[in-house]
Structure 1
Amino acid sequence: MSGVLAGEKASESYRWRLATRADLPAIVEIYNSAIPDRSATCDLEPVSVESRETWFAESNPERRPIWVGYEAGEPDAVAGYLSFEPFLNGRRGYDPTADLALYLHPEHRGRGLGGFLLAEAIAHAPLLGVRVLATTIFASNTRSLRLFHNHGFAEWGRMPAVADLDGVIQDVVLVGRSVA
């Protein structure tokens, strides 16, 4: 399935579809590409496909999907992914809120895919029963902060010095917005 409910949802250059198990190696490769620059994840070592199997299996297309973005005409070439994650500890009282994770292949950063996927997530969230979208971003990741702010997310909190990435201390910014 691709698009909002069925069919294809597109920008001029990009499209998205539900991730399949066959996409998991590409998703892991994209995630791992963000680890060395220490700007988008607290993982310090690459993750394996096997270590992400449970995460993928627990995603739910009707409530907490994982999408892959791709260039028009290349649906099998994953250029990035967006996942709707349980908020905080996943307790049922937090169900109206989704924690977004958005990662792009290095060749697709700054080319519009992130904005496309984020705009689609905002539009699609109410169909998932989501009223609030949130995410955490390192304060030093100004590109991601700008992307989310440009899509109506506001800073809801700042957690100083909570991440230590091999001696690089990072503040983490919580951003969010209503989509109801």
Structure 2
Amino acid sequence: MAHEEIVERYSGLARAALSGERITDCGTAEFGEGRFGAAGYGDAAGLPEEALRASLGCGDPVAVAELRAGETVLDLGSGGGVDVLLSARRVGPEGRVYGLDASTEMLELARRNAGRAGAANVEFLHGVIEAVPLPDRTVDVIVSNCVVNLSDDKAAVLAEAFRVLRPGGRLGISDVVTDDGVDAVRRAAAEARVGCAAGTLAVGEYRGLLAAAGFTGVDITLTADHGDGVHSAIVRAAKPAIGPGLEIRPMRESDAAQVLEIYQAGLDTGQASFETTAPSWEDFTAGKLERLRYVAADVATGEVAGWVAASPVSSRCVYAGVVEHSVYVHPRHHSRGVGRALLTAFVSASEDAGIWTIQSGVFPENLSSLRLHEALGFRAVGVRERVGRHHGTWRDVVLLERRSPVVGR
């Protein structure tokens, strides 16, 4: 179904709600038994009845978003405004909640419901979830209720969510997902039955798009079974945290010159590696895993402050969950917590990717690196004595390892 058709479909539902009707977006049985609409909320006490009658969600994202007083929240596809009102209650008068919807009729309905609820800390925006009309790093939390599945460009939706979140921000959404490998015909029939006009993502596809956007700490919990491999689910993820003025995001090809400059600056200290010259970008990328590479960048200038990346330790399938990593910080950004933030994000992303062991070799003289890794759960598993010559001197290497407490248990 085209975007314009979806907007008109929901505008029609909004008009029905404005006239006092209770609306549904799928079959009556699926709506009740699948816990769609108001049935999906654990606590909707105090909300206007008109708002609950217009609820079209597939869960209760606000219940798992862990909202705190004073936070700024964005609801993608806010519909009649139920999740906006629930969020407004949780963030309190010092907080702010934005509701975004492409349907002017839905926005009219939501504003009417907000007025009836007496919610003064909310604002409704007209726009599409693939191009959010808010500046970068504006909100602390994004919620959404059974809307991402309606988009025909889900990668753009998740990229926009990452863009508008502040570092350390959280994503908590309800959506409809599909088991990996489900037969396409069965999948389409189930999607039609529960009202997924643009199709669902398989769980593995969802994880991949979240990782590509830059999210870490991804968790997808199935909450209701709609048959034929289709489920309602709660999707959680986070934008990596880092200090003021910086942002951690996936490494891009446009970062090449700065990444290699930082690499060379580290090699020039004589404490980073046996290498003395940074490789070409082609050699760098050929030796690194595509997904597990990130930069910390200045949000005002775009300057890269540091980077982290992973290399496979072996092509044998038994070592698929074992990687070796490198983390480098520009000399101008030392003592700002950049290395710690990058390594923290990397550890989380590696577990999302199914990595169970991260390895590294560090010169024993590089005390700052040893302390950083120890603080983040790495342990020394041995010392390779006089393993190689560096600038004419034989040097030892401390072998570090972090075994995931989550993956591979």
TM-score class normalised by the smaller sequence: 0.7 to 0.9
Compared with structure 1, are the counterparts of its residues 25 and 173 closer, same or farther at alpha carbon in structure 2 (3 Å cutoff)? same
Q: Where do residues 13-52 of structure 1 align in structure 2 (5 Å cutoff)?
A: 13=244, 14-44=246-276, 46-48=277-279, 51-52=280-281
| Match of residue 168 from structure 1 | 393
| Match of residue 56 from structure 1 | 285
Structure 1 residue identity aligned to 2:311? E
**Which of the numbers 340, 351, 366 marks the counterpart of 1:126?**
351
What does the per-residue CA deviation read over 1:5-58, in whole Å, with 9 as the maximum and x for residues that have no partner?
Answer: 7874222333211111111111100000012221001112x235xx23143156
| Match of residue 215 from structure 2 | 3
**Which of the numbers 94, 97, 109 marks the counterpart of 2:319?**
94
Structure 1 residue identity aligned to 2:328? Y
Aligned mates of 2:326, 2:295 — CA distance in 1: 12
Q: Shift of the alpha carbon at 1:134?
A: 1.3
Structure 2 residue identity aligned to 1:153? F
Structure 2 residue identity aligned to 1:11? I
Compared with structure 1, are the counterparts of its residues 47 and 124 closer, same or farther at alpha carbon in structure 2 (3 Å cutoff)? closer
Aligned mates of 1:74, 1:41 — CA distance in 2: 31
Structure 2 alignment gaps of length 5 or more = 1-212, 219-236
What does the per-residue CA deviation read over 1:45-82, in whole Å, with 9 as the maximum and x for residues that have no partner?
Answer: x235xx231431564444xx2111123x2372111100
Runs of 4+ in 1 over 3 A off after TM superposition: 5-8, 57-62
Does the 8 A contact of 1:18 with 1:61 survive in 2?
Answer: no
Does the 8 A contact of 2:383 with 2:398 survive in 1?
Answer: yes
**Structure with the higher fraction of residues in helix conformation:** 2
Aligned mates of 1:145, 1:54 — CA distance in 2: 27
Compared with structure 1, are the counterparts of its residues 131 and 7 closer, same or farther at alpha carbon in structure 2 (3 Å cutoff)? closer
Compared with structure 1, are the counterparts of its residues 7 and 107 closer, same or farther at alpha carbon in structure 2 (3 Å cutoff)? same
**Which of the numbers 286, 289, 296 marks the counterpart of 1:69?**
296
**Which of the numbers 237, 240, 243 marks the counterpart of 1:12?**
243
Aligned mates of 1:95, 1:75 — CA distance in 2: 37
Aligned mates of 1:156, 1:177 — CA distance in 2: 10
Q: Shift of the alpha carbon at 1:132?
A: 1.2
Aligned mates of 2:290, 2:238 — CA distance in 1: 15
Aligned mates of 2:287, 2:267 — CA distance in 1: 23
| Match of residue 112 from structure 1 | 337
Does the 8 A contact of 1:30 with 1:104 survive in 2?
Answer: yes
2:349 match: secondary structure: helix
Does the 8 A contact of 2:243 with 2:336 survive in 1?
Answer: no
Larger displacement relative to structure 2 (167-176 or 24-33): 167-176
Aligned mates of 1:154, 1:47 — CA distance in 2: 27
2:297 match: secondary structure: strand
**Structure with the higher fraction of residues in strand conformation:** 1
Task: State the structure with bigger RCO (CA 8 A, min sep 6), 1 or 2.
Answer: 1
1:9 match: secondary structure: coil
* Identity score, percent: 25
TM-score by length of 2: 0.40
CA RMSD of aligned residues (A): 2.1
Aligned mates of 1:136, 1:58 — CA distance in 2: 16
What does the per-residue CA deviation read over 1:136-176, in whole Å, with 9 as the maximum and x for residues that have no partner?
Answer: 10111111001101111110110011121112322101111
Does the 8 A contact of 1:17 with 1:68 survive in 2?
Answer: yes
Compared with structure 1, are the counterparts of its residues 61 and 35 closer, same or farther at alpha carbon in structure 2 (3 Å cutoff)? closer
Structure 1 alignment gaps of length 5 or more = none
